[in-house]
Copies of this chain bind each other. A is one copy, B any other.
Amino acid sequence: MIEDNSSLNTRDLEDKRFIEQSFPVKDKKNIIQKPLVIVSESMRNGDMYYATRFLAPDPFIYLCYPYERRDILIVSQMEYERARKESVVKEVRSSLDYGHDLKTEELIIKILQEEQVEAIEVPGYFNLYTAEALRKNGIEVIPVDEVIMTKEREIKNEQEIGYLKKAQSACEKAMALAISVIGRSTVNGNVLMENGAILTSERVKACIEHALIDSGCTCDGGEPIVACGKRAADPHFSGSGPFVANEPVIIDIFPRLKAERYFADMTRTVVKGEPEKEIEEMYEAVLAAQNAALAIVKAGVTCRDVHNCVCDTFEERGYDTIRTGGKKGFIHSTGHGVGLNVHEKPSVSDNEYVLQKGNVITLEPGLYDPEVGGVRLEDMVLVLKNGCENLTRLEKKLAV
């Protein structure tokens, strides 16, 4: 399993299409007998974009015969010419050829009738209403836990790694700017000031977003987190209002390259002023947990091993963890895959997934205490045969 997938590292998405390289005929285990149908937009759905390389905000239909290495795209007349020009799928049809103003279900039934298909596989996230309408019309609909694209997307090829590095480089530039804005601010009583105005989360977020636009990125996965003080103990609190001196600021940036569509993801925590002793200790613990994880990540290690290693480090220092049902301390997973989605497989948590060469994952331990605040550090790493390459270069320093 591991060896088969890592051989996919030689794929080149631009030159040869997904459908032409997947499902090697000699590997009988992987043969899917039934055609696969996905109905989705492709701005958020990484599987759909991965298979078609056609970016569209509204749902369209992808029909794929993996064994025959043939696939078909069915789009509205409005999208037809663009799909023909932009998609890697060679066979593109207009829904108008099946009739005027058909409902999605009616359209799919007509297509499957024309194709003489009586049974299809669909992703687990397939629309329940649509599935039932197809079944009422005699079509067998089989949801699979993980479609072939989701599985393939776990292993990045050279081109994808290049995109992830490019996104990460833009991310670090924006992060460095955010940290420098906070570093250059002045302490005035309790709050931070910038050019005579109170420095806010909103202001730093805007700086980050402007920098990302100039690097060809979008924040369509969500606005950056710039959260200061005790509310930063809620890991996904986006942050708002004035910065408080001497309190930790969590900065979590996850931009996407507009053209290439790949994400990056990183987090730093900084304090302007004098950090409290508790925060300093939390920071040291988080750094130690991340370094411990970085030291063991390599092909063949399970996600559970990595997650446990982070939990061990925290528990040794007396912090609660999610493993022991803790409601503060380390209360989330260790990381996640990054690619066409900012959160994709594998989940670096308590599961048996075996890391493989070509996985790109985050390592982002954090500690949270509603009485004190939060600390999180996140790097994005490429899993290699004998270790990992940290794609995140920016230094880690608490006081700025």
> Nearest B residue to A141 by beta-carbon distance?
B128
User: Hey, what's the 0/1 contact readout for A348-375 against B, CB within 8 Å counting as 1?
Assistant: 0111000000000000000000100000
User: Is A35 in contact with chain B by the CB < 8 A criterion?
Assistant: no
A288 → chain B closest CB, angstroms: 21
User: Is A331 in contact with chain B by the CB < 8 A criterion?
Assistant: yes
User: Is A96 in contact with chain B by the CB < 8 A criterion?
Assistant: yes
Q: Which of A89-116 contact B (CB under 8 A)?
A: 94, 96, 100-101
User: For residue A145, which residues in chain B have a CB less than 8 angstroms away from its CB?
Assistant: 129
User: For residue A222, which residues in chain B have a CB less than 8 angstroms away from its CB?
Assistant: 43, 57, 220
User: Is A143 in contact with chain B by the CB < 8 A criterion?
Assistant: yes
> Nearest B residue to A122 by beta-carbon distance?
B128
User: Is A223 in contact with chain B by the CB < 8 A criterion?
Assistant: yes
Contact between B128 and A131, CB atoms less than 8 A apart = yes
Q: Which of B85, B129, B141 contacts A143 (CB 8 A)?
A: B129
A241 → chain B closest CB, angstroms: 12
User: Is A250 in contact with chain B by the CB < 8 A criterion?
Assistant: no
> Nearest B residue to A240 by beta-carbon distance?
B259
Q: How many copies of this kind of chain does the complex include?
A: 2
Q: Which of A316-338 contact B (CB under 8 A)?
A: 322-323, 325, 327, 331-332
Contact stretch, chosen from A5-13, A76-84, A165-173, A387-395: A76-84
Contact between A332 and B127, CB atoms less than 8 A apart = no
Q: How far is the CA of A234 from the CA of B131 in the complex (A)?
A: 31
Q: How far is the CA of A367 from the CA of B78 in the complex (A)?
A: 11
User: For residue A81, which residues in chain B have a CB less than 8 angstroms away from its CB?
Assistant: 233-234, 370
User: For residue A258, which residues in chain B have a CB less than 8 angstroms away from its CB?
Assistant: 223
Q: Which of A104-160 contact B (CB under 8 A)?
A: 122-132, 141, 143, 145
> Nearest B residue to A259 by beta-carbon distance?
B240
Q: How far is the CA of A172 from the CA of B349 in the complex (A)?
A: 46
Contact stretch, chosen from A19-27, A64-72, A206-214: A206-214
User: Is A235 in contact with chain B by the CB < 8 A criterion?
Assistant: yes
Q: Which of B100, B218, B220 contacts A325 (CB 8 A)?
A: B100
Contact between B206 and A77, CB atoms less than 8 A apart = no
User: Is A34 in contact with chain B by the CB < 8 A criterion?
Assistant: no
Q: How far is the CA of A145 from the CA of B56 in the complex (A)?
A: 23
Q: How far is the CA of A234 from the CA of B84 in the complex (A)?
A: 11
Q: Which of B127, B209, B221, B370 contacts A57 (CB 8 A)?
A: B221
Contact between A213 and B218, CB atoms less than 8 A apart = no
User: For residue A292, which residues in chain B have a CB less than 8 angstroms away from its CB?
Assistant: none
The interface centre, meaning the residue of A132, A145, A258 with most chain B CB atoms within 10 A of its CB, is A258
Contact between B209 and A213, CB atoms less than 8 A apart = yes
User: For residue A218, which residues in chain B have a CB less than 8 angstroms away from its CB?
Assistant: 209, 219-220, 223
Q: How far is the CA of A77 from the CA of B325 in the complex (A)?
A: 9
User: Is A236 in contact with chain B by the CB < 8 A criterion?
Assistant: yes
User: For residue A370, which residues in chain B have a CB less than 8 angstroms away from its CB?
Assistant: 81
> Nearest B residue to A220 by beta-carbon distance?
B220
The interface centre, meaning the residue of A58, A213, A235, A238 with most chain B CB atoms within 10 A of its CB, is A213
Q: How far is the CA of A124 from the CA of B130 in the complex (A)?
A: 7
Q: 20 interchain pairs (CB within 8 A)?
A: A55-B238, A57-B343, A76-B332, A77-B322, A78-B236, A78-B331, A80-B327, A81-B233, A85-B234, A100-B350, A122-B128, A123-B129, A124-B130, A126-B127, A126-B128, A127-B128, A129-B143, A209-B218, A218-B219, A220-B222
Other contacts beyond A43-B222, A126-B129, A128-B128: 5, CB < 8 A = A79-B236, A85-B234, A96-B327, A209-B218, A223-B258
Q: List the 4 shortest-distance A-B pairs measured between CB atoms, nearest first.
A: A124-B129, A82-B234, A220-B220, A78-B332
